[in-house]
Structure formats: structure tokens, C-alpha cells
Amino acid sequence: MEILTNIDEPALTDHCARKEFFWLDLIGPSDDDVQRLGKILGLHPLAVEDTLAFGQRPKLDVYDDQALLVLQGGTEADPEEDNPHPLEEIHCYISGDFVVTIRRNEFEDLSRLRTQLKASSTTHSEQYYVYRIIDTIVDTFFPVLAGLDDEINDLEDAIVARPSKAELVKIFGLKRLLLKMRKAVTPMRDLFAREIETIADLAGLDKDSHDYFRDVYDHLIRITDLLDTYHDLVSGCTDLYMSNVANRQGEVGKQLTVVASVFLPLSFLTGFFGMNFDWIAGNLLHGAATFFIFGLGTMVLSAVAMWAWFKHKGWIGED
């Protein structure tokens, strides 16, 4: 199988005439290039129109002996929730003579696959090459999910240590990312569940084991399960955040209550001494020593007694 990366009309026409299977991988072609490619390869006008517009939902449209398969691939970033471009839409034209992949941006996994297939000297069936392309696109979600797993673990640790608004913002970012990925993966999973045999049975495509495409379906099920699991974990982070914030508020309220309780007898004593100062000064307090022992001593003793009582009850100190 020959691999091409640009629209070389003589080469494409020659391959089609000789019925020699090839892979054309295009990155960011212009509208004119897409229309010219459609004329060279005889692509259906409706399929070409979808590629000109992009923004398509994952789907499989079959036109006689050709099919347009729209897939979404995952792109990595660090951190994942700040990824401005988490998904890459890829249009795959499949027939018995060729497979064409068109995308707007660079996609490292497909570029790496091109290098691997070029370096390989082993000849495989046409279905195998189609499978490798589809499987490579689908498997790009696994590294993204692995990164999300680490970020969720770090997020949980940060929330337990000291929750802040930064963690709350990260939770919402992860939720939006997981929802966006699930909207892309679920249609692909349903697509391969319903029409898994359609691609394998395209006219002119060399027959091979249908297990290839069932393997892609298995991967999509795993990805969907992981997305559901991570969504539950992020929702759990929200509950953990709210619980920790409530606990911290309760701790602050308890500390303020302790302080207020300590000052309650002090307020009573100072009020009592203040209202009866003349009588106390004339009858009880004679000299500075008596003032400090009887006057201030009672307030210190009351504060120490209250603190010791709170300590005994376990309301202050370590939990």
C-alpha cells in the first residue's frame, strides 16, 4: 500500500486505474482542494459537502461502493481541562481502491502510523489498513483518559488538604471536558454497534477477519466506561469539596464559639467590678497586690477554667 500526503492528480489517477490500494492523508486542505479531490476520486457530492463544512457528528454514510466515516480523536494537553482543542474531527473516505483521511489540524498519531506503515515490509489486506487507521484514531482517547486519571487524583488530594476556588474551577473544567468527550465517543460506539459489518463489506475491499472492527468496538466500550467512571469521580470531588468547605466553616464557627465562651465570664466579671467599684475599692481592694490577685486573678482563673473545660470535652485541640 502506498501512502500519499498531497493531492497529486497523476499519481491518484494512476492508482485508481491500476486498482492499487493507497492511503491519502490530508491536513488542512482548502475547499478547492477538497472539491478537486472529489472529482479525481469520484466522491459523492454530499460527502464532499460534509467535508467542506466539518463540524459533523460521528457517522457512517454509504454511497454505493464508497463510504464516508466521520470520527473524533482525542488530543493530549497538560492540564487536560485547559485543552483548547481536546477533539480532532477526522473524515475517512473508504472504498475498495483507497482510504482518504482529511483533518483540519496536525494529528500526531496518524503521522506516526504513516511512518510505521511505510517502514513495514509486510503486506496486509485492505481491511487491515482501514482497521489500523480507525483503531489509531479511537485509541487516542486512552492517553487523554490516563492524564485525566492523574489529574483527578491530584484534585482529590488538593481538596482534602485545603479546598479553594481553584479546585472548584478545575472540577467544572473537568466536567465540561468529560461531557464533550462523551458526546464524541458515544455516537462512535453506537455506530460500530449497529453498522460494524458495513465497512468490512464495502464492495471491492479485500475481505479479512471481521474481528478487526469488533476490536474497535471493544475499545469504544472501554473508553465509554472510563468516561462514566471519571464523571462519577469528578462528581464525587464536588461532594468532597462541599463537605470539606462545610467542615472548615464548622471548625471556624467552633473556634469563634470557644473564644466567645471564654470572654463571657470575663464580660460578667468586668461588668460586676465596674458597677460595684466604689464599694469593692473601699472594702476589699487595699493596695496594688490585692488588686492584681483578687481583681485580675479572678478573670485569669475563669479563662483558664473555661479553656480546661473545653479541652476536657474535646472541643479544642486535635481531633
pLDDT at residue 285, as a whole number: 62
The grid coordinates listed for 51 are 467535508
Q: Is 317 left (phi over 0), alpha (psi -120 to 50) or beta?
A: left
Q: How many CB atoms lie within 10 A of CB 129?
A: 21
Q: Residue holding cell 488588686? A: 291
Mention every residue, 6+ apart, whose C-beta is less than 8 A from residue 6.
26
pLDDT of residue 224: 95
Q: Where are the alpha helices (DSSP H) in the chain?
A: 9-17, 31-41, 45-53, 108-119, 126-139, 141-161, 165-200, 211-275, 277-283, 288-290, 297-313
Containing 95, the helix (H) or strand (E) segment is strand 87-95
Q: Please determine, for residue 184, whether its predicted confidence score (pLDDT) is greater than 60.
A: yes
The pTM assigned to this predicted structure is: 0.79
* pLDDT of 40 over the 90 cut: yes
Model confidence pLDDT, tens digit, residues 280-302: 656 666 666 666 666 677 778 88
Q: In Å, how far from its chain's centre is CA 274? A: 65
Q: In b/e form, how buried is each residue of 141-165, taking b as 16+ CB within 10 angstroms?
A: beebbebbeebbeebbebbeeebee
Q: What average pLDDT does this structure show over 43-61? A: 92
Sign of the Cα torsion 268, 270, 275, 277 reads positive
Q: Residue 289: its pLDDT value, please? A: 63
Q: Confirm if 212 and 131 have CB atoms less than 8 A apart.
A: yes
For range 192-217, the mean pLDDT = 75
Match 467512571 to its residue by C-alpha cell.
229
CB 256 within 8 A of CB 308: no
pLDDT at site 286 = 62
Give me the chain's average pLDDT, please.
85
Looking at the predicted structure, is the pLDDT value of residue 201 above 90?
Answer: no
**Which among 125, 121, 116, 61 is positioned nearest to 93, based on CA atoms?**
61
SS3 133: helix
CATH 3.30.460.20 fits 2-245, yes or no: yes
Decide the pairing of beta strands 22-27 and 2-4.
parallel
Q: What confidence tens digit (pLDDT) does each residue in 101-119 have?
A: 999 998 999 999 999 998 8
Write down the residue that cell numbers 468516561 correspond to: 227
Please tell me the distance from the alpha carbon of residue 187 to that of residue 220, in angstroms, as a whole number.
10
Round to whole Å and give the CA distance between 182 and 231. Answer: 10
DSSP 76: -
Q: Give the position of cell 460494524.
A: 196
CB atoms within 10 A of CB 140: 22
pLDDT at 229: 94
